[in-house]
Amino acid sequence: MKWSVLSGVAVRAATLITLSALVLPIVGCGKASAPSPAPVSFHAQGQPARLSDWHVLVADGGHLRLNAGVEPYALNTALFSDYAHKLRTIWMPPGTKAKYDATEAFDFPVGTIISKTFYYPRAAGDSDAVLRAPTQPGESRDGLDLTRMRLIETRLLVRRQDGWVALPYVWNAEQTDAVLARAGDSVPLEMRVADGRPAHRFDYQVPDANQCAGCHATDNSTRAIQPIGPRARHLNRDDPWHPGDNQLTRMAALGRLDGLPASGIARNARLDDAAAPLADRARAYLDVNCGHCHSPRGPADTSGLWLDAGTQDPIRLGRCKPPIAAGQGTGDHTFDIVPGKPEDSILVYRMDSLDPGAMMPEVGRATVDEEGVALVRDWIRDWVGQCSGAGDAGASRPVNTALRP
């Protein structure tokens, strides 16, 4: 007990020292009247029952703030999750740094805590309804105003000695704390759209801890959990909280990232960047939404369809590729991507479906990402060619329709 108190003080002191070198985080300045929160607390083992046990985020029902030393970050193009907004943070023990990797997640030190808070703007009126609004709102530098935001869940990825663990926490109605929900949860939501369309009701699914691993175990053989977002190509962008600063160079300048090369860093396009080429935006979208499974080593390598950023072979990307074990997910279509014909492509069908037996991704959404599907449709519409030509060996041979029902 004594030790932990002491180490807490030590950590806090170290944090303050480090912070003097940091650009101020979004935690409010000029809030001197508020009592200082306890420092971030890394639990080397166990499963703390409450999010507040970690002291990463501090909520009092009116505001959600980031504790000292907790740094927010943003991705170029992020995973779609039922139009939820996400506040992402990283905390590393003082004096430690992450190691750069060109393609995979950075190697973070033991003690790192990554948080992702899912929230929605509240719809007007007294109800609990939420608003479907653009995916990249500028969060206030003063944290989140909880009178205007509805918190759903906060997922923690914690780097322990043995590797990463995933812990999902669900927020209480008062928005003062979130409770561990290892078995997941289901949150009924009413989502309204500003343009007056009828409200959409669905059950927001909080994943259980194993389902977290379903996406975060990006190598299906080792089964080790990895962060997905903190990769160079996702982070390589302007820092929304520090305009003019690149997130990666800033991280390196603050001494939190080792090995950042001077040039040649990959960069995914931003979904909301109208100036970026269509193909770049579509590939960025597929990379972050699908590539963690659909890669040469991911759980969906069984399908032979690879959608990660590094894949270039058109067959691997699905061009005229027959599905493998898609079952009812084919939607009566023959190929993953039919050039120029999104309406005939399995890829679009599965993104557009809400049937758990057909939809992709398999978990993490209960609504259709209309903009995302439209983007992939546009991208496929741009593909030139057709699938109907037979192969070289059978150029004059039709398919055997006699053997088809």
Partner 1 sequence: MAWTSAVLACAAALAGCQQKAAPVAVDRDYQKVLIERLLDAKPGDVIDIPAGTFAFDRSLSLRVDGVTLRGAGMDKTVLSFRNQKSGAEGLLVNASDFTIENLAIEDSKGDGLKVNEGENITIRGVRVEWTRGPHTDNGAYGLYPVQTKNVLIEDCVVIGASDAGVYVGQSETIIVRRNRAERNVAGIEIENSKFADVYGNTAIDNTGGILVFDMPNLPRRGHSTRVFGNRVVGNNTDNFARKGAAVASVPAGSGIVLNSADKVEIFDNDIGDNKTANVIISSYWSTGYMNKYGVSKDYDPYPEEVYVHGNRFQGGGDSPDGLDLKALRVAMFGLSGRLPDVLWDGFANAKRSQGPQICVEGASGVLNADGPNKYKSPSMAGDAMRCSLPRLPQVSLPTTGVAATAKVAPAA
Residues making contact with partner 1 (CB under 8 A): 182-184, 186, 203, 205, 208-211, 213-214, 217, 220-221, 223, 299, 301-302, 304, 314-316, 319-336, 346, 355-359, 362-363, 366, 385, 387-392, 394, 397-405
Report the distance separating Cα 168 and Cα 157, nearest Å: 9
Minimum CB distance to partner 1 smaller for 179 or for 276: 179
Which among 278, 311, 242 has a CA at the least distance from the CA of 379?
Answer: 278
Report the distance separating Cα 121 and Cα 137, nearest Å: 10
- Give me the least distance between CB of 228 and partner 1, in Å please: 17
- Give me the least distance between CB of 278 and partner 1, in Å please: 21
DSSP of 39-106, one letter per residue? PP---SSS--SBGGGG-SEEE-SSEEEEPTT-EEE--SS----TT-EEEEEEE--TT--EE--SSSB-
Minimum CB distance to partner 1 smaller for 24 or for 183: 183
- Give me the least distance between CB of 222 and partner 1, in Å please: 10
Minimum CB distance to partner 1 smaller for 263 or for 396: 396
- Give me the least distance between CB of 333 and partner 1, in Å please: 5
Q: Which residue has the tokens 């190691």?
A: 99
Q: What angle do CA 71, 66, 68 make, to 5 degrees?
A: 70
Report the distance separating Cα 225 and Cα 230, nearest Å: 13
Rounded to the nearest 10 degrees, the angle between the axes of helix 278-290 and helix 370-381 is: 130
Tokens representing 120?
């929605």
- Give me the least distance between CB of 345 and partner 1, in Å please: 11
Helix, strand and coil percent figures for the chain, each rounded to 5: 25, 20, 55
Minimum CB distance to partner 1 smaller for 195 or for 392: 392
Report the distance separating Cα 400 and Cα 403, nearest Å: 6
Burial track 18-52 (b if 16+ CB lie within 10 A, e otherwise): bbeebeebbbbeeeeeeeebebbbbbeeeeeeebb
- Looking at residue 320, the DSSP 8-state letter turns out to be T
- Give me the least distance between CB of 79 and partner 1, in Å please: 16
Minimum CB distance to partner 1 smaller for 123 or for 337: 337
- Give me the least distance between CB of 177 and partner 1, in Å please: 20
- Give me the least distance between CB of 184 and partner 1, in Å please: 6
- Give me the least distance between CB of 7 and partner 1, in Å please: 28
Report the distance separating Cα 68 and Cα 57, nearest Å: 9
Minimum CB distance to partner 1 smaller for 6 or for 390: 390
- Give me the least distance between CB of 217 and partner 1, in Å please: 7
- Give me the least distance between CB of 364 and partner 1, in Å please: 9
Q: What angle do CA 267, 263, 312 make, to 5 degrees?
A: 45
Determine how many CB atoms are found less than 10 A away from the CB of residue 331.
17
Report the distance separating Cα 382 and Cα 377, nearest Å: 9
Report the distance separating Cα 357 and Cα 271, nearest Å: 28
Minimum CB distance to partner 1 smaller for 259 or for 385: 385
| Cβ–Cβ under 8 Å, residues 267 and 236 | yes
